[in-house]
Structure formats: C-alpha cells, structure tokens
C-alpha cells in the first residue's frame, strides 16, 4: 500500500509517499481501507521531533481517519467487514498511522460512521470532536441555559465546539477574525458572532450577556487572551484552556474576585475508559444529526506536506484533511 512516511524529523518536505506493507489484524484489531485522514496540529509538531510525543523513525503520521473495514480480528465484535467507520485519536505508536491507504488499529478506537457523514467529515472527527466534547462536558460541565464563549471558533475544534454547545442547550458566542470565518461560526449555530475580543472590546461580550459575562469560556490561544478572559468571565465561571503558544501576564486578583476556575486540558491525558466514552458520546451526536464537521480544505495524499503547512499556518477555516481515495 501507499503511505506517507517520515524518515527523519524536520519540515514538511520530509513527508514522502512510499510503498509499505501492512500486517494482518491481531485478535483485537481491525484493518481499514482509508478514504480520508485528518491533519491535526499535534501531527505537525510531532513531525518536527520537538514535540512531547516522539515516535520511532520511520513512521506514518495520522491519528484520525475514516474508511471501510476490510478485516477484523477474531475477538472484534463492535464492527464488521464492510462497515463505514471513523477512527478517533489513535495513541501514537500503537497503530500504523492514518495518512495511508490502509491502517491497522485496535477496534476500541473505531466507531460506525453514519451514512449522512462523508468520509472527509468522518476524518475531521477524532481529536477535534473529542477535544471539544471533553472541554465542554468533562471540564466545564456546561448546562442548558448557560452562555458559552468560544474564543477562536472558526477552527476545526471551535466549529465542533459551537455545535456541541448548542446541542447541550447553551447560548453560544463565537469569535473569529475574518468574515469567512464568522460566517462559518454563524452557520455552525452560534447565537452571537464577534471579532476576537481584546481589552478594548470586552464590552461587546458583556452587552451580549446583559453585563454578566459568559459562564464558560473555551480558550484556544491562552497566551493572547487569558487576561481578557478573566475580565469577561461571569462570577463562578469556568475557563478551559485548550490551546496555548507562549506566556502571558495575568492578574490573579481577577480569579479571586470572580471566584472563577481556570482549567487546563490535554486530550492525551484521558484514560482508556474516558476515551471510549468520548467516542461513544460523539457517535451519538452524529447519529442524532447534532454534529457535522466542517471541512476547510482537502489535499491529495501526494500533497500531505502542503496539508501540514496549511494547518500550522492557519490557512483554512474548518478542518484540513488528506483525501486518500
């Protein structure tokens, strides 16, 4: 089969298409013919060799994907050959990688893909959907009627967070920097769409919440926004930090005055049981047509390097995927 291989860490130029072999599935594994694979920032960081996760070389990148089951091991009961499936955030090093024509992985990371969800959309689930769901449900415990601010809502995780928050019965405020991104946030279901909030525009969020501030803030760039988040958050509110790219000075007195919580989150910290529950909960949202991933751009397998560059440079709203078949 053809697969993207990384033989040395570095830039996207090191992503090359090679012919490689794939083994038969073990008793708890499945082999899947992949039609699309998702590209996440963590995939790009890992490929540089500077990330916390450092696989043995050479390796095939990719933790998310979608396709049709080709073969299952003797003990696999949750899916069968011929099923449409999505693969959700595989643990690095425990599978053959999804940016390839086929993948071998444990069946517990695989779930049925409804007919109304395309393979590209299925490949856009995984890390984005599980991250959004865990941030809103496990970390923030969002309740119906609460107001959720998603700061930077036009990305892959942000757009799914908007949809999930609406499914939970929340009022959603989403921010984006460009008109195309704002339109996607609106189409995803946000009740209010604003420019990215600065200290000078905090009043826009306060006006949208009758002066109270949002009950929950999902933050994707804490090094730029955390101080502003603390100014906006409602009393006893929750800020969930999902993304960060540096340091920031904050005034802890705001945390005291608001009696708010600032909670960090990394998806890879979940236990096996939590991971399986997250996949199941996301699959239920798909079945109920409450979640529909937004594709920003798809690249052919031979242009996987360009897909990596697009992700790290933020060239597209929505999800970047590699289309394999």
CATH number of 128-267: 3.40.50.720
pLDDT of residue 93: 55
pLDDT on residue 95? 65
d(CA 49, CA 52): 8
- Determine phi and psi for 67, rounding to 5 degrees: 180, -155
Q: Per CATH, is 2-125+293-323 categorized as 3.90.180.10?
A: yes
Q: Which residues touch 313 (CB under 8 Å, ≥6 apart)?
A: none
Answer whether residue 320 shows pLDDT above 70: yes
Are residues 105 and 30 in contact, defined by beta-carbon separation less than 8 angstroms? yes
The residue whose two tokens read 């996987």 is 304
Section 105-112 average pLDDT: 92
The tokens for 141 are 């415990």
Length of the chain: 325
Task: Give pLDDT, residue 54.
Answer: 87
Q: Identify the top-confidence range among 21-25, 209-213, 242-246.
A: 209-213
Residues 134, 310, 90, 119, CA torsion sign = positive
Q: What is the mean pLDDT of residues 109-122?
A: 95
16: helix, strand or coil: strand
143-198 pLDDT, tens per residue? 999 999 999 999 999 999 999 999 999 999 999 989 999 999 999 999 999 999 88
Q: What is the pLDDT of residues 206-231, one digit of tens each?
A: 999 999 999 999 999 999 999 999 99
State how far the Cα of 317 lies from the Cα of 40, in Å rounded to an integer: 13
pLDDT in the model for residue 92 = 60
Cα distances (Å, whole numbers) of residue 130 to 4, 133, 164, 310: 25, 5, 11, 22
pLDDT at 286: 95
pLDDT for res 272: 86
Extents of the domains making up the chain: 2-125+293-323, 128-267
CA distance to 25, 62, 122, 174, 290, per residue, from 35 (Å)? 19, 13, 10, 31, 23
Of residues 94 and 99, more confidence is placed in: 99
Per-residue pLDDT reduced to its tens digit, 46-79 = 999 988 788 899 999 999 999 999 999 999 999 9
Same fold, 2-125+293-323 and 128-267: no
> What is the pTM for the complete model shown?
0.94
Q: Is the pLDDT of residue 325 over 90?
A: no
What average pLDDT does the segment 32-42 reach? Answer: 96
pLDDT of residue 190: 98
Q: What is the mean pLDDT of the chain?
A: 94
CA distances from 91 to 37, 96, 105, 128, 137 (A): 15, 10, 10, 15, 22
Sign of CA dihedral 297, 133, 182, 232: negative
For 295-315, write each residue's pLDDT tens digit.
999 999 999 999 999 999 988
| Model pLDDT for residues 250-294, shown as the tens digit of each residue | 999 999 999 999 999 999 899 888 998 999 999 999 999 999 999
């Amino acid at each position: 089969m053809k697969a993207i291989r990384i033989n040395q860490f570095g830039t996207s130029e090191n992503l090359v298409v090679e012919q490689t072999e794939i083994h038969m599935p073990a008793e708890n594994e499945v082999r899947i013919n992949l039609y699309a694979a998702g590209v996440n920032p963590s995939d790009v960081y890992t490929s540089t060799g500077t990330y916390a996760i450092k696989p043995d070389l050479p390796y095939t990148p990719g933790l998310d994907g979608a396709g049709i089951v080709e073969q299952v091991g003797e003990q696999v009961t949750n899916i069968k050959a011929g099923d449409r499936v999505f693969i959700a955030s595989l643990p690095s090093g425990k599978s053959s990688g999804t940016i390839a024509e086929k993948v071998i992985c444990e069946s517990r990371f695989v779930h049925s893909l409804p007919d109304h969800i395309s393979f590209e959309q299925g490949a856009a689930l995984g890390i984005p959907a599980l991250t959004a769901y865990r941030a809103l449900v496990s970390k923030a415990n969002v309740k119906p009627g609460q107001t959720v601010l998603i700061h930077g809502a036009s990305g892959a995780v942000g757009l799914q967070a908007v949809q999930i928050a609406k499914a939970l019965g929340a009022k959603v405020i989403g921010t984006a920097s460009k008109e195309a991104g704002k339109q996607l946030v609106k189409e995803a279901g946000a009740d209010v769409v604003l420019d990215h909030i600065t200290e000078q525009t905090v009043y826009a969020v306060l006006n949208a919440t009758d002066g109270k501030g949002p009950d929950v803030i999902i933050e994707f760039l804490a090094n730029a926004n955390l101080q502003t988040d603390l100014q906006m958050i409602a009393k006893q509110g929750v800020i969930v930090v999902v993304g960060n790219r540096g340091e920031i000075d904050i005034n802890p007195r705001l945390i005291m005055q608001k009696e708010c919580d600032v909670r960090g989150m990394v998806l890879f910290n979940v236990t096996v049981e939590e991971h399986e529950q997250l996949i199941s909960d996301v699959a239920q949202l798909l079945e109920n047509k409450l979640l529909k991933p937004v594709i920003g751009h798809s690249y052919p397998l031979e242009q996987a390097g360009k897909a990596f560059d697009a992700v790290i440079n933020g060239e597209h709203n929505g999800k970047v995927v590699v289309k394999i078949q």
